[in-house]
Structure 1
């Protein structure tokens, strides 16, 4: 994308933010906690390698489910056209462009399943599942050549025997009390919290 295009995109984004802030400031009632359920939060903008598109994650609070509904929005830079929920599935996010700019990989979260990696192709709208990892994946990073994708996989240790000597405690434990998710940490681990 050339310098004029970048200035135009910055101007458009700035104008949108000023409009949104002006609307909030002009409102007669102060913002209440309940208003948070009406907001759509945008994050994680990713410009395609050719500069033609921008991916943005849109998140909105879902009160009844006590979670966020998130979707991937696609912006055509030249026309300004927005394709809402481009992958047609709430729960998609955590994306990375392929080097050719014709597709991107993303993480899909499905209820009662672990998140997996998928690929979306712009020209056809095709979605293909790429992984089936038991504990799920996150944080895809595509190599410059596009032939490899690094992922974060978090393993959860199975529940182990409780640390309680039940004979000394003076009772027989229920089945649910025999195992625990309490872990004794005797070594510190680095946290996977992004690229840098």
Structure 2
């Protein structure tokens, strides 16, 4: 059953119907009483809409008015999301953290990134060993056993969706900062995570220096 959606006119008619009858209770639209009721009715309409929104705010995936409360229980928003993240980006972070059950497998990180709105793959490295290394394979040292790479799209795009955005949200938002921050917060402490973006999987230039710690 859908939530009731009463308009200002519905409230005005209801109040008029509850008023006493008589000459001192005029129902003419030009009367002071009718004008007062007409002035108050939009407020009751807004209250009804806000109450109906509570049904959606009960679930973080559709929350709007109570989204800040959901965020505050999870230590959000964080600097990773930037100065003005969109409503959908904020919801994604809330849902991802609430549903995060922990793990260290490749599938765990792929699923966690998907909750954030990112489609990724994960590549692992291993030390070069005689009898296993093939022509063209990188000659990785021992430390590369603890490195892994997250491969994602060049820049994740969040597009405005009717009913899912709010006033002030951009029609399109770009960036992978949230992905990188969230993955770094969850990665096993003894590992080093690298990030690559683009169809070719080339390592992001901002992380090339990180490889020096692995040589």
TM-score range, shorter chain: under 0.3
Higher relative contact order (CA 8 A, sep 6+): 2
| More strand, by proportion | 1
